[in-house]
């Protein structure tokens, strides 16, 4: 009897993340080049797609208007970057965990807005060919 209670406590409920949900993450958990030292800065990330294993495709948010960002100014997101991410800094699929979490500041964008962002980043940005390769790699993973 005691063992079944212990096992029941260890089972975590599945968090169903919907397209358009924003997650809170830190720059150190996003992929970066070895020569660059990311700042320990928290930022929102918009979920623009997901698969059946709850692996996510995200677009990082930004607070600065740089050449590779687009102004958004809705739902608590000022700008978003023109790149998608499918893996964290350890080359593992992005999932809701300690690195990418839903917080009380996390907002929910309408799914149509998230699809517009995904389309802009994949088809109409400077890094569109690189983003398309990542997006195709995401869907070609073993399911």
- Give the whole-angstrom CA distance, residue 5 versus residue 48: 38
Task: With beta carbons less than 8 A apart as the criterion, state whether 100 and 58 touch.
Answer: yes
Condensed to tens digits (0 to 9), the pLDDT of residues 33-91 reads 666 666 777 889 999 999 888 899 999 998 888 888 999 888 888 999 999 999 998 88
Which residues touch 76 (CB under 8 Å, ≥6 apart)? 22, 44, 105, 107
- Give the whole-angstrom CA distance, residue 85 versus residue 34: 17
Which CATH code of 3.30.310, 3.30.450, 2.30.30, 3.40.50 fits the domain covering 16-140? 2.30.30
For residue 27, what are its two tokens? 């720059």
Task: Identify the pLDDT of residue 136.
Answer: 92
Condensed to tens digits (0 to 9), the pLDDT of residues 89-112 reads 888 999 999 999 998 878 899 999
- Supply the mean pLDDT for the chain: 84
Task: With beta carbons less than 8 A apart as the criterion, state whether 100 and 56 touch.
Answer: yes
Ranking 5-14, 28-37, 76-85 by mean pLDDT, the lowest is: 5-14
């Amino acid at each position: 009897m005691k063992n079944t209670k212990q096992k029941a406590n260890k089972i975590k409920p599945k968090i169903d993340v919907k397209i358009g949900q924003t997650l809170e993450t830190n720059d150190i958990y996003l992929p970066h080049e070895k020569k660059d030292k990311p700042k320990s800065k928290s930022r929102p990330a918009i979920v623009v797609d997901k698969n059946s294993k709850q692996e996510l495709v995200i677009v990082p948010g930004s607070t600065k208007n740089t050449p590779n960002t687009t102004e958004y100014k809705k739902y608590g997101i000022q700008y978003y970057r023109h790149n998608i991410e499918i893996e964290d800094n350890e080359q593992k699929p992005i999932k809701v965990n300690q690195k990418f979490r839903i917080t009380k500041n996390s907002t929910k964008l309408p799914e149509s807005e998230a699809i517009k962002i995904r389309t802009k980043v994949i088809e109409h940005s400077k890094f569109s060919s690189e983003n398309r390769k990542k997006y195709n790699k995401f869907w070609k993973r073993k399911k």
